[in-house]
Amino acid sequence: MNILSPSILSADFTILGEELRTIDEAGSEYIHIDVMDGIFVPSISYGMPVIKSIRKATKKVFDVHLMITEPERYINEFVESGADIITFHVEATKDPGKVIDMIHEKGLKAGISVKPKTPLEAIEPYLEKIDMLLIMSVEPGFGGQAYIEGSTEKIRAAREMVKAHGLTTDIQVDGGINLQNLPEVLEAGANIIVAGSSVFKGDVKGNVEAFLEIMK
């Protein structure tokens, strides 16, 4: 099943509640929430108070992507804020297995992410424990970047790795995805698509509907 997860990092925060209602009513199932700490990635975004606040605006799945160092320090707080899925970076912690267990103990789905230059072998030991694998197709930390072309082969390799383990793990892709390269990303094996500027620039409702039409 293909799922669209619009990234609110690209939304207009002066009308964030309205933007959420628009993507909700247009048929988006997930809402992608990028949390950055200024250490693991250069930028700082938002944290628990914003998530808790917007939780009241929608019942859609909160797909929380932690781009923070030592995510284990904050799992409980993000659970309490209203996250449904928590994804962290394999590069950001010394004990990924522990972080996965912490997330599962709270009854949430756990995802693990890799930067563009990190080999898939880094997450293979945890593949049977996770619910979702997030492939970054741009360097994490900034919205609006162009899709790194080599990402398509990495997505394909990830899907093959998942199949080789006898799994059906969700593969999410985040970074530079638009209506033009979306078919290529889906064909390679992704089934959860994160899109920021290509959703929130211009006609938000129309953009969501156009993505979903291709993802049928």
Q: Would you please indicate which residues are annotated as catalytic (active-site) residues?
A: 34, 174
Question: Which residue is listed with tokens 């992704």?
Answer: 190
| Spacing of C-alpha 39 from chain mean position | 19
* Beta carbons within 8 Å of 120's beta carbon, 6+ residues apart: 114, 154, 157, 158, 161
Complete edge-to-edge strand list for the sheet that includes strand 30-36: 3-6, 192-195, 170-174, 132-136, 109-114, 85-89, 61-67, 30-36
Q: Bridge partners of 18?
A: none
Give dist(CA 167, CA 48) in Å, integer.
Answer: 32
Instruction: Give the CA dihedral 99, 102, 107, 109, nearest 10 degrees.
Output: 0
The one-letter amino acid code at 112 reads I
